[in-house]
Amino acid sequence: MTIAKLNDLGQEIFLSRYAYPGETKWQERAKAIARTVAAAETDEDKVVVERTFYEAISSGDFIPGGRIIFGSGRSGGKHNLLNCFVIIPEDTVDSIGKTIQDMYKISCAGGGIGFNVSKIRPKGDNIGTVSNSAPGSVSVLKMINEVGEHVKSGKNRRTALMGILNITHPDLLEFLHVKLDNGELENFNISVAITNRFIEAVQLDEPWYFTFNNKEYHNYLLTATNTKGEQRELSVIALDEVDAIKRAEGFHREDWTETFEVIMRKDIMAKWLWDRIWTNAVDSGDPGIYNIDLANSYTNVSYFEDLPSTNPCGEISLPSYGNCCLGNLNLANMVLPDGSDVDWKRLAKTVRTGIRFLDDVLTVNHFPTPECKEVGHRSRRIGLGVMGLHYMLINLGLVYGSEKCLEFLERLFATIRDESYKTSIYLARDKAPFPAFDRDKYLSESFAKTLPIRIRHYIRKFGIRNAVMLTIPPTGTISMLLGVSSGIEPIFSAMYNRRYRQGNIWKEQLVVDPLFKEYYLDGKNLDAFVGAYDVDPEDHMKVQATIQHYIDSCISKTINLPADFESKNMIEQALEFAPYLKGMTIYKAGSKGNEPLQAIPLTEENVKKYMQLPEIETASADGQACSLAGGGCGD
């Protein structure tokens, strides 16, 4: 059996983030993880299953999510092993209060949390008999953000949060303004949940109005005049002209003497809104896009669950109090030594091990709240993902995003899908299907219809253990642990300069991707070494769309843009791919200020120059797959 050998950076990450006191080797942690999770098995199967788990983890073929790596086998024995959760607050004081309380519990247990606040009544709506008094959906996010500040200061890792608002919600413009213009909600990634109807309205260049509780809200243009005769114009989202003036009086006064007058109703065009979203996304990285209609249709759970939000990094759509149980196939290990093909037998075996492992994690896990446990067991949702895809492609001589690459990805992810579903069927036969399983309804779901006939037949006969089971997390830290590329991202760059602070001194260091260094020293072809910014945005989206067809949940994937990229060049491409992607995230070089990594163009001159320099650090870096540093998304 092969034991994974951690490089210096991987060993440093292991010791600083995951090792139990006294552990110095990865295989020691692998044993503890295998033993902890295999406790879910019967006495008859436990020994064999534990050994199988250990072999997959210690070899680096399968890597559990970070909470599983950290929490397994630790003192006390009652640890949350899941990375991410979702809470959907209802429009009541009690629900909002419970949301904040449960958010604190989950964050302290190491979980990242997504929120969709679209059920909260808009700012300026009535509360009972008190007119125009509602603080709105954004105020709930501000309260959650403040709690996140205190979790961060309590020696936990930074709390990871996702804030989502539906494109139909009247608070949408404030939602965008608070994060993008005012720089608030800094503990949040934010996304706009778009619909098929909105995409159609953009394509047809139609007006867009907002709705809540079957009421229409439109944009009104007003003038504000103070006692000095000074005037300004403002826009207010309201039910009618009278309501617009009342909302302006309550929330938009800049001078206490101001009076307001409606000029006209000025409808917002859907295309203008789309352009604004994407201009901001290109310029700052926020907001992302969550295709809420596709997420709720291209799944297996629409007959018993609604999926209004994702976790913080966007790789899994969840119901309220849903959670994600993550683990990843290390695709870099799945290539035959001569690079001629994938080791399909090794891949299939690892898929089977990963599915069983994650299902067992749900059984042994200690959930942070009773609601999380109830929802987790209802569907037995798991998230088998991948890492090292780009390393696999390089070793097979495939250029990221090329036509040959896309054809290969179809075969690869169809194999992962089919092996995952067959394993879950066998688990259902031997244990039980997930509690909410209904044969006819399940097999009528959109994703289940894409399965091969033989697998659908087995589901009808035996049921299935896990309602959904496939995702693509970003895997930033755990990829660096094993020294491979992250998730399905291309490598950041074959060579780059890293700026870092040591004490009060800023230092700069040349970093070379370890696989690139190996290829260079062995005199191999370097053509497949394209970096995140070398890949055309359309090719980024083609890769994601190709893989999404075989993934029953979502994908965390960043579309990397060079610093001189114009936002107008992204707007039409994003609209073209929006119907096929459950989520879209942009990162433009330099959009978040000074960057610690600077790519070095892979020219022949640069290769000759930089590869001769001494003291080269060898490390992997991805293309900013998820900007949140803690609490979830697989690390």
For 376-398, what is each residue's pLDDT tens digit? 999 999 999 999 999 999 999 99
3-class secondary-structure state, position 453 = helix
pLDDT for res 633: 64
- Residues 406-433 have a mean pLDDT of 98
Tell me which of 195 and 286 has the higher pLDDT. Answer: 195
CB 330 within 8 A of CB 336: no
CB 106 within 8 A of CB 626: no
Asked whether residue 76 carries a pLDDT value surpassing 90, the answer given is no
Question: Cα–Cα distances in Å, from 515 out to 12, 26, 498?
Answer: 19, 21, 18
pLDDT for res 155: 40
pLDDT for res 618: 55
Per-residue pLDDT reduced to its tens digit, 581-626: 999 999 988 877 667 788 888 888 888 888 876 555 555 565 554 5
Per-residue pLDDT reduced to its tens digit, 463-503: 999 999 999 999 989 999 999 999 999 999 999 888 777 77
d(CA 524, CA 572): 39
pLDDT cut 90: percent of the chain above it: 77
E strand or H helix at 234: strand 231-238
587-606 burial: b if 16+ Cβ within 10 Å, else e: bbbebeeeeebebbebeeee
Question: How confident is residue 78, by pLDDT bands cut at 50, 70 and 90?
Answer: confident
471 closest CA partner among 540, 394, 381, 401: 381
Q: In the structure, how many helices (H) and strands (E) does the chain have?
A: 22, 23
* pTM of the predicted model as reported, rounded to 2 decimal places: 0.94
d(CA 169, CA 607): 52
* Whether 405 is catalytic: no
The DSSP output letter for 20 is: P
Which of these is catalytic: 296, 311, 333, 365? 311
Distance of CA 474 to the CA centre of its chain: 7
Helix axes of 137-152 and 172-180: crossing angle, nearest 10 degrees: 30
Query: Do you know the residue count of the chain?
Result: 635
469 closest CA partner among 417, 530, 510: 417
Q: Position 26: which residue type?
A: W
d(CA 361, CA 540): 33
- Residues 85-106 have a mean pLDDT of 96
pLDDT for res 463: 98
d(CA 22, CA 39): 23
d(CA 83, CA 634): 6
List the single range of 1-5, 181-185, 590-594 with lowest mean pLDDT: 590-594
Question: How confident is residue 151, by pLDDT bands cut at 50, 70 and 90?
Answer: confident
Compute the Cα dihedral for 457, 455, 364, 312 and give only its sign.
negative
Q: Position 78: which residue type?
A: K
How does the average pLDDT of the chain come out, rounded?
92
pLDDT for res 152: 63
The runs of H, that is alpha helices, within 332-401 are: 344-364, 370-379, 389-395
pLDDT for res 581: 97
- Residues 428-437 have a mean pLDDT of 98
The runs of H, that is alpha helices, within 215-267 are: 241-251
d(CA 242, CA 235): 14
Which of these is catalytic: 313, 554, 626, 633? 313
d(CA 510, CA 495): 7
User: Which residues fall within 8 angstroms of residue 97, CB to CB, at 6 or more apart?
Assistant: none
3-class secondary-structure state, position 109 = coil
The phi, psi pair for 32, rounded to 5°, reads -65, -40
The runs of H, that is alpha helices, within 204-338 are: 241-251, 270-284, 292-297
Question: Cα–Cα distances in Å, from 226 out to 241, 247, 253, 515, 562?
Answer: 20, 17, 10, 66, 46
pLDDT for res 609: 82
Between strands 207-208 and 210-212, the pairing is: unpaired
* Whether 315 is catalytic: yes
160 closest CA partner among 184, 186, 178, 179: 186
Residue 90: both structure tokens together: 């209802």
HSE-CB of 196 using CA atoms within 13 angstroms: 7
pLDDT for res 622: 59
Q: Position 536: which residue type?
A: D
pLDDT cut 70: percent of the chain above it: 95
Tell me which of 379 and 78 has the higher pLDDT. Answer: 379
3-class secondary-structure state, position 245 = helix
Per-residue pLDDT reduced to its tens digit, 532-543: 999 999 999 999
User: Which residues fall within 8 angstroms of residue 525, CB to CB, at 6 or more apart?
Assistant: 397, 519
pLDDT for res 629: 39
d(CA 6, CA 23): 14
Which of these is catalytic: 258, 315, 419, 445? 315
CB 27 within 8 A of CB 56: no
- Residues 440-450 have a mean pLDDT of 98
Per-residue pLDDT reduced to its tens digit, 246-293: 999 999 999 899 999 999 999 999 999 999 999 988 888 899 999 999
Distance of CA 115 to the CA centre of its chain: 13
User: Which residues fall within 8 angstroms of residue 511, CB to CB, at 6 or more apart?
Assistant: 495, 496, 497, 498, 597, 616, 617, 618, 619, 621
d(CA 551, CA 22): 39
Q: Tokens 């399905």 appear where?
A: 488
Asked whether residue 630 carries a pLDDT value surpassing 50, the answer given is no
CB 472 within 8 A of CB 386: yes
- 310 forms bridges with which residues in the sheet? 317
